[in-house]
Every structure is written in structure tokens, then in C-alpha cells.
């Protein structure tokens, strides 16, 4: 015997408020994980880099990990570090916007 979705939902006595609550409660954890991912910043910066490298800790200012390039290329290490920091800041600003 085949049941339709409405018959199952009506059989559970779930009204419109219940359906909205269930859909909202499944949406919130995904948004929370996105906020945490963007606020951390390292995941986004790592995903957006276009050079091969290894994560190292920079001790010059505030300790920060960044992807130091393995091979020298046309772009200097300082420029790549600046680009990596810009991606880090962009990620954190995106996380703050999601919170708001």
C-alpha cells in the first residue's frame, strides 16, 4: 500500500508550523558550520590559494599559519603572504556578515 507524503504528514498530525520548525531546525546547523568555517579563515584561505606549499607558522606579528610556497615562482613570498592574509580577512568578514 503506497502512501503519499501528505498522508504521512497528516498521519503524524504535523501542521504547517511543525513543518516550518523541522525545516528550520535542519537549516540552522548548516549555517552555524558555515559561520565557523568562515570565521576561522584558514580553510577559505587554503582553498583559494593557487600555489603548492606547506603550512608554516609566522611569528612576526600575531601568530598565523599560511601556505608557504615550495617552489619559487614569478611572485615573491611577501606578495603571496599578503594575498593569503587578504583571503584570511575576507573569510572572517564573510563570517561576521553571516552572523549579522
Q: Is residue 22 included in any domain, yes or no?
A: yes
Q: Is residue 1 included in any domain, yes or no?
A: no
Domain membership of residue 84 as a residue range: 16-99
Q: Is residue 83 included in any domain, yes or no?
A: yes
Give Dmax (Cα) for the chain: 69
Q: Is residue 44 included in any domain, yes or no?
A: yes
Give 50-98 pLDDT, tens digit per residue. Answer: 888 777 777 766 667 777 787 777 888 888 888 888 988 999 999 999 9
CA pair distance 48, 65, nearest whole angstrom = 15
Q: Are 49 and 87 in contact (CB under 8 A)?
A: yes
Q: Is residue 35 included in any domain, yes or no?
A: yes
What is the overall mean pLDDT for the chain? Answer: 78
- On whether the pTM is more than 0.75, the answer is no
Handedness of CA 59, 61, 63, 67 (dihedral sign): negative
Neighbours of 44 (CB within 10 A): 19
- Which residues partner with 57 through β-bridges? 65
Q: Is residue 10 included in any domain, yes or no?
A: no
Q: Is residue 95 included in any domain, yes or no?
A: yes
Give 58-69 pLDDT, tens digit per residue. Answer: 776 666 777 778
Residue 38 pLDDT grade (very low, low, confident, very high; cuts 50, 70, 90): very high
Amino acid at each position: 500500500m503506497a502512501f503519499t507524503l501528505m498522508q504521512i504528514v497528516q498521519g503524524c498530525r504535523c501542521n504547517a508550523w511543525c513543518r516550518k520548525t523541522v525545516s528550520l531546525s535542519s537549516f540552522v546547523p548548516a549555517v552555524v558550520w558555515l559561520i565557523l568555517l568562515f570565521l576561522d579563515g584558514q580553510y577559505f584561505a587554503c582553498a583559494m590559494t593557487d600555489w603548492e606549499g606547506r603550512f608554516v607558522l609566522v611569528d612576526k606579528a600575531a601568530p598565523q599559519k599560511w601556505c608557504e610556497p615550495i617552489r619559487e615562482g614569478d611572485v615573491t613570498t611577501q606578495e603571496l603572504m599578503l594575498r593569503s592574509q587578504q583571503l584570511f580577512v575576507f573569510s572572517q568578514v564573510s563570517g561576521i556578515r553571516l552572523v549579522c
